[in-house]
Chain A
Amino acid sequence: MIGFTFRRVGVALVVAWLAMTLAFVALRWVPGDAVDSTLTHAGVPADAIAARRAALGLNDPLWQQYVDYVAGLPRGDWGDSLISGQPVSELIWQNAGSTAALAAGALLVAVVLGVTLGILAGTVRWRIGRYAAEAAASLALSTPVYWTATLAIYVFTVTLDLLPGVGGSGVRHVILPACVLGFHTAGSIAQVTASSIREASVQDFVRTARAKGLSEFDILDHVLRVGLLPVIAVVALQLGFLLGGTVITETIFVRRGLGRVLLDAISSRDYPVIQGLVVLAAVVYSLINALADVVYGLVDPRVDMSS
């Protein structure tokens, strides 16, 4: 068990490192960056620009920049923003809390809503009920986030005056954005839950249990327990969708967060910031998927831990 965990986490870190390296190389390849865009058109003479680039280490050979960068990471030196000069780590720290709140809240909503819908879609007797649940899941998957966000603000904030909408950073302010984002993430979870429960309900052990005379409730219980296993995997996968969704949600709801930071960095070609966020996303995503694998292994008796 422990060995499996370590191996899995190790693989995740290797993958994250590979992702970081890819991003590093890709971003260095691109012509023009924030140094160019901010200085060149301010009438700054060419040698001053060159001096600035040298000072930032942008003229060093690629491998050296890479080594410097990697060495700096564990120290907390993730580079500085080319635009504001602020350390990237500081920028991330200032904004991570808000994004984490949004993401965790959305995940909560997504899992609760998704699993419920999925169970309903997979088990309810009446066809209408099943179809309704499936339709809800599909709807969640079919509309763009920016659209439901606007609609939600209009309905809940302006018309009904129930929840605070745009701006603000308190506890109540995270409810609406988390619900909107969670609703969209729930779609996939619901579908996978539904199909895996359906699959579980036709397995042999169900027939055996019925033959043994167990009550329907007990059988349902069994089916759920086995059927919910793949949900763990898909929840971890949906994290990626969630992280992407925070970009749009934060823009519309005017929330501080890493999504908006990324957008600003991209529009101003602030490569150190883009790099830092990419590294962060890769690490978080890999580790959470590794964690999901470990949990899956813990829970599913069919998985052979020693492999």
Chain B
Amino acid sequence: MSLESTRRRVPVNLGVVGTLFLLACFAVTMIALLVLRESSESDTDSGPSIVYGLTLNPSGFDPHIHNSNELGIPFYSVYDTLVYRHPQTAEFVPGLADRWEMSPDGLDWTFYLKQGVTFHDGTPFNANAVGANLDRVMNPDIASRKAKFLLGPYTGYTIVDAYTITLHLSEPYAPLLDGLSQVYLGIASPEALAEHTKNAYQWHQVGTGPYKLKEVVPGDRIILTRNQDYAWGPVFYAEVTDQTLDTIEFRFFVDAPTRSLALESGEVEVIGELLPTDAELLLGNTALRILRVPIAGMPQQFFFNTQRSPTDDPVVRQALIYGTNRTAIVDAVFQGQSPVAHGPLTSVTPFYDADVETLYPHDPDYARSLLQGIGYEDIDGDGMLERDGEPLALTMVFAPWNQMADVAQLIQSQWRDLGIDLELIQVPDFPTLRSYADEGTYDLISFYDFGVDASILNQYYTTGGANNWSGYSDPELDGWLAEATRQSSRETRAALYQSIQMRIMEQAVVLPVREYVNLNGTTAALDGVIFSAQGWWPLLRNFQLSP
């Protein structure tokens, strides 16, 4: 091939190739987008609709199996529960059960169910349906991580008649109604449960609630549409108007700084867990509203490892709490938008004992004196405390959500002023956090959960409890916790939980930081935004979108 002819060949090919390539890119983009478009949005649906921003992508969405709070945000409205807590008073009101009775010995609970209720797939609701749900929750094959534990000492049920069912317990259990009021024990259609495998059901959930599950695209979106036949809601559900939402699309906004951007640009109408600095900024925006919802349960906190030196010494733990300026943390990291936490329960939780607030004022001098009293001194003048040549060095493990990284770094700085060397380990996800817990290679670890009934403390503070990551063991505390779970008298429970909270804090088992407040942002066009008594779950039925 001569040089001339090859040179002549090149121009044609390259130009053609280049243009073809660019066209190909463009074509791929367009085709891919068109394929996308037809598989999703059909917003020709009439009626008010919103996009709701979720913030965590849980590993599963089946309330019977999984334990994330996030999944309740959409699914609280897909299911009804036997009883509900009134969002304002937290009292139990009828749900799918019209009324209920507890036997005098506290071992049998009889529920008289509503009639005329149907599931979204047309199956009638009755006692058999409830039984089928209980069977599923207790079935070891599905490995329920929360629902099963909410039932406590449950042993079985008896179908009395078509609309009456009795639950049997092996011992009295005060939190039963509370458990039954949570989305994890929502009642699902037995037909749907039977039709799908355990893993597949979460994409095809069927309940009796005010909204039906229309579509789930894992990791991307969840779409609910209004249940037109819904006529059996609890007293606090509003009447349907032409502003009641017809469609709600849930999308995942895992990256915190972009949540406020999504809200401002109108990509979402509601989103939770805004960054405190963003929430402050948005207060001035008249097109938006900021709702602060306090959450009942445990505060954002760190468990001390009571099985490992030096945190096995209660004096060390107490000194550390005295030495932590929690007010400064709340002001700096959370912009003062949450209350400081003082005990194992938040102040909005029933049976919260305000006495814990007096226990640990911020007093770094006293902290130093406590440590000195057990032999920690700064001998070599490097600013760090030692005892017998060993520096006071601790390890703190935490997961990054809820701005724990900022909290941890602030604590690290505060403790350095005391002379303590704190090493921080950030893990990216729960399984890794769990593996640290299993190995016990930490002095402090972040872990907490939410719930209205104070019995959530059981798994965390009882000797050998499933979530007892502090390794704390106190037979007297165990007795109190068990008794408070059995007792139904409010006064008795209050007294017991008072002792429990004081004991936990006197023994400094946990370092409480702040009470969780969910910063929700909504468009000003949305009214009736109200959350359940548990705090996390919106009552979508009551939302009203002005045009």
Contacts and interface: CB of A to CB of B under 8 A. Distances in A.
Classify A-B as touching or not with yes or no (CB < 8 A).
yes
A169 B429 contact: no
B25 A107 contact: yes
Nearest to A205: B7
Nearest to B51: A167
Interface stretch (B11-19, B95-103, B520-528): B11-19
B431 A165 contact: no
Given A37-B431, A254-B252, A298 B33 contact: no
Interface in A197-255: 205, 221, 225-226, 228-229, 232, 251-254
Interface string A255-298: 01000110010011100000000000000000000000001001
Interface string B2-15: 00001101110110
Contacts of A253: 258
Contacts of A301: 1, 6-7, 9-10
A66 B201 CA distance: 30
B141 A108 contact: no
Interface stretch (A8-16, A43-51, A67-75, A126-134): A43-51
Contacts of A139: none
A301 B6 CA distance: 6
A167 B268 contact: yes
A225 B14 contact: yes
Contacts of B218: 84, 86, 91, 94
Interface in B255-272: 255, 257-258, 261-262, 264-265, 267-268
Contact of A225 (B10, B32, B39, B60): B10
Contacts of B29: 100-101, 104-105, 108, 174, 178
B202 interface: yes
B254 A48 contact: no
Interface stretch (A17-25, A57-65, A153-161, A188-196): A153-161
Interface in B28-57: 28-30, 32-33, 35-37, 39-41, 51, 53, 57
Interface in B121-166: 140-141, 143-145
Nearest to B13: A299
A276 to B, nearest CB: 14
A125 interface: no
A31 B32 CA distance: 38
Nearest to A48: B140
B197 A105 contact: no
A247 to B, nearest CB: 12
A97 interface: yes
B199 interface: yes
B143 A101 contact: no
A44 B53 CA distance: 33
Contacts of B7: 205, 301
Nearest to A83: B59
A98 interface: yes
B253 A299 contact: no
Contacts of B59: 38, 83, 268
A83 B41 CA distance: 27
A226 B57 CA distance: 50
B217 A256 contact: yes
Interface in A106-136: 107-108, 111-112
Contacts of B255: 251-252, 254
Contacts of A45: 140
Contacts of B35: 97
A2 interface: no
A299 B14 contact: yes
A256 B143 contact: no
B143 A84 contact: no
B267 A264 contact: no
A254 B262 contact: yes
Given A83-B60, A101-B28, A112 B262 contact: no
B434 A166 contact: no
Nearest to B27: A104
A238 B160 CA distance: 69
A256 B7 CA distance: 46
Nearest to B259: A166
A3 interface: no
B466 A85 contact: no
Identify whether the interface residues of A are mostly helix, strand, loop, or mixed: helix
B252 A154 contact: no
Give chain A's interface residue range (CB within 8 Å of chain B). Answer: 35 or more
B32 A101 contact: yes
B226 interface: no
A298 B141 contact: no
Contacts of A300: 10
Nearest to B217: A94
Given A37-B431, A44-B143, A256-B219, A104 B262 contact: no
A42 B144 contact: yes
A153 B264 CA distance: 11
A301 to B, nearest CB: 3
B269 to A, nearest CB: 12
Nearest to B268: A167
Nearest to A169: B36
Contacts of A39: 143
Nearest to B264: A158
Contacts of A85: 197-200
Given A104-B29, A252-B255, A268-B59, A43 B466 contact: yes
A85 B202 CA distance: 10
B38 to A, nearest CB: 10
Interface string B200-229: 101100000000000001111100000000
Contact of B258 (A100, A226, A252): A252
Nearest to B220: A256
B429 A268 contact: yes
A39 B59 CA distance: 12
A150 B258 contact: yes
A111 B258 contact: no
A226 B33 contact: no
A100 B253 CA distance: 21
B237 interface: no
Contact of A166 (B28, B203, B258): B258
Nearest to B466: A43
Contacts of B236: none
A144 interface: no
Given A84-B60, A167-B251, A301-B6, A101 B36 contact: yes
Contacts of B267: 164-168
A158 to B, nearest CB: 6
A89 B144 CA distance: 27
A30 interface: no
A273 to B, nearest CB: 10
B366 interface: no
Contacts of A171: 30, 33, 37
A157 B262 CA distance: 9
A157 B265 contact: yes
16 contacts: A43-B466, A48-B141, A84-B202, A84-B218, A94-B220, A104-B25, A166-B258, A170-B33, A228-B18, A252-B258, A254-B252, A256-B217, A264-B57, A264-B219, A300-B10, A301-B7
Interface of A: 32, 37-39, 41-45, 48, 83-86, 91, 94-98, 100-101, 104-105, 107-108, 111-112, 150, 153-154, 157-158, 161, 164-171, 174, 178, 205, 221, 225-226, 228-229, 232, 251-254, 256, 260-261, 264, 267-269, 295, 298-301
Given A108-B25, A267-B429, A299-B13, 13 more contacts: A39-B143, A84-B203, A84-B218, A97-B36, A101-B33, A105-B29, A153-B258, A154-B261, A165-B265, A169-B36, A171-B33, A252-B255, A300-B10
10 smallest beta-carbon distances between A and B, as pairs: A85-B199, A301-B6, A101-B32, A104-B28, A42-B143, A108-B25, A256-B220, A267-B429, A167-B267, A100-B32
